[in-house]
Amino acid sequence: MARAALKLTVRELGALSGVHATTVTRIENEQTKPHAASMQAFAKVFRERGLLFVAGDDLAGPGVRVAKSGLAPAE
């Protein structure tokens, strides 16, 4: 969901994060559990591109939002 929100291909996310594209695909397809370092690398890529993670509540589950152009999310 996060990768799609930013319109990144598997190869692009792999190149930006330093995680092999095959590994990205396996993680997305739940064929393997990601290492903590991979998750941190993905999070860095997403934050740098303005992705905001939204917590779920009683009405809706968790999700993602893309910040308006030029606005970096707070850490």
| Segment 15-57, tens digit of pLDDT | 999 999 999 999 999 999 999 999 999 999 999 999 988 899 9
Dist CA 58 CA 67 (whole Å): 24
Q: What is the pTM of this model?
A: 0.78
Whole-angstrom Cα Rg for the chain: 13
Distance CA 8, CA 4 (A): 6
Q: How many domains does the chain have?
A: 1
Domain residues for the domain of 55 are: 2-66
Q: What is the pLDDT of residue 63?
A: 86
By CB atoms closer than 10 A (0-12, 13-18, 19+), residue 19 is buried
Please give the DSSP secondary-structure letter assigned to residue 50: T
CATH value at residue 23: 1.10.260.40
72 within a domain of the structure (yes/no) = no
- DSSP assignment, residue 31? S
